[in-house]
Amino acid sequence: MMVVVVDLGILFLPWFPPLNGMRAQRSSVLGRIASAHGATPGQVALAWMLRTASVTVPLPGTWNPAWEDENLAAIDLDLTAEEVRELSDLPGIGAGV
């Protein structure tokens, strides 16, 4: 899906970002990358979205100040090109973004 919206330049506002929540917990790729960076799966998901999808506006809603700090920390998470490729290639995420 992400390949299509990026190619067409369509703004994508995710209600539930790819790789987040329970789905993220089950991803061995995501878990390994999160562990390597000392980050949470949610932070990795946000970092991936910020790096790969120029047409995406992630709005990680939160009512807990600690979660807000966690979400903001994703901005500084520096994923490698290989990690971005691995995440982009996960089924249902948008291979090739």
Residue 6 in domain: no
Do the domain assignments include residue 60?
yes
Q: Higher-confidence residue: 82 or 40?
A: 82
Q: Which of 13-22, 42-51, 67-76 has the lowest mean pLDDT?
A: 13-22
In a domain, 1, yes or no: no
Average confidence score pLDDT of the chain: 77
Confidence of residue 79 (pLDDT cuts 50, 70, 90): very high
Segments forming the whole domain that contains residue 23 = 11-88
Count of structural domains within the chain: 1
27 occurs within a structural domain:
yes
Q: How confident is the model at residue 64 (pLDDT cuts 50, 70, 90)?
A: confident
Does 38 score more than 90 pLDDT? yes
Say how many C-beta atoms besides its own lie within 10 A of residue 32's C-beta.
13
CA distance 11 to 46: 16
CA distance 74 to 62: 14
Does 42 fall in a domain?
Answer: yes
Residue 95 within a domain: no
pLDDT at 22 over 80: no
Beta carbons within 10 angstroms of residue 41's beta carbon: 21
